[in-house]
Amino acid sequence: MEEIILEAKKRDILGKQVNTLRNKGILPGIIYGPHISPIPISLDYRQANRILPVITSSHLVVIDVEGEKHTTLVREKQRHPVLGKLQHVDFMAVSMTEKLRANVYIELSGDAPAVFEYGGILVSGQEEVEVECLPGDLPEKVVVDISGLKQIGDALHVRDIVVPPEVEILTNMDELIVLVAAPAAEEIEVVEAVEGEVAEVEPEVIEKGKKEEEQEI
């Protein structure tokens, strides 16, 4: 996993006054953890906004606070409710020698033959899986190959995920990841109903047209 480092400074401005920082292109945040006291920090907004939106919740981020480095996980990214801009970021400091629990993103890879050959519909289940391991063994994501889904009804579950032996999956193994479902029955019924309505209307229109022609003659 590629190491990500963000430069930060200790922050004295707290509460509602942090809006003055945001107006200056500074992103407020905080580092907390089981072995440290909370550290309010300030980040350069441009640098943070370039990196944080594209990383997952299981990606380790090193925060360099005026020369003191903290290995962390992003625990919460608060955004403006209208503009969507980052407003505040919570980082949880981790120990590289202690196991932790984290949610890892599931990425679907490949194409399911049942979708193209039988018109199946992919129904997604779990989008993340909870794991336990040392921070250095934490996967950025787990990739699940769906190319083996060849028939309607084929499915993949958490038990089908392959992870290194250092990583333990905590999520229920029977939880669904993805299923190939048949085309919705109600869609077929709607199409048939519409076709039936057209069939009923067309003779009436033709008959009406004939009567009008006869009256004109």
Q: Name the CATH topology of 101-181.
A: RNA Polymerase Alpha Subunit; Chain A, domain 2 (2.170.120)
The secondary structure of the chain in percent helix, strand, coil, rounded to multiples of 5, reads 30, 40, 30
Dihedral of the alpha carbons of 10, 60, 51, 65, in degrees to the nearest 10? 20
Q: Pairing state of beta strands 128-133 and 168-169?
A: antiparallel
Question: Residue 202's pLDDT is what?
Answer: 47
Residue 188 has pLDDT above 70, yes or no: no
Question: Residue 19's pLDDT is what?
Answer: 84
**Which SS3 state, helix, strand or coil, does residue 137 take?**
helix
Instruction: Give the integer Cα–Cα distance in Å for 167 and 133.
Output: 5
Question: Residue 206's pLDDT is what?
Answer: 42
Instruction: Give the integer Cα–Cα distance in Å for 139 and 141.
Output: 5
Predicted confidence band of residue 201 (pLDDT cuts 50, 70, 90): very low
Q: How far is the first Cα of the chain from the last one, in angstroms, to the nearest whole number?
A: 85
Q: Going by CATH, does the domain composed of 4-94 fall within 2.40.240.10?
A: yes
pLDDT tens string 21-69: 888 999 999 999 988 999 999 999 999 999 998 888 899 999 999 999 9
Mean pLDDT of the chain: 86
Q: Is-above-0.85 flag for pTM?
A: no
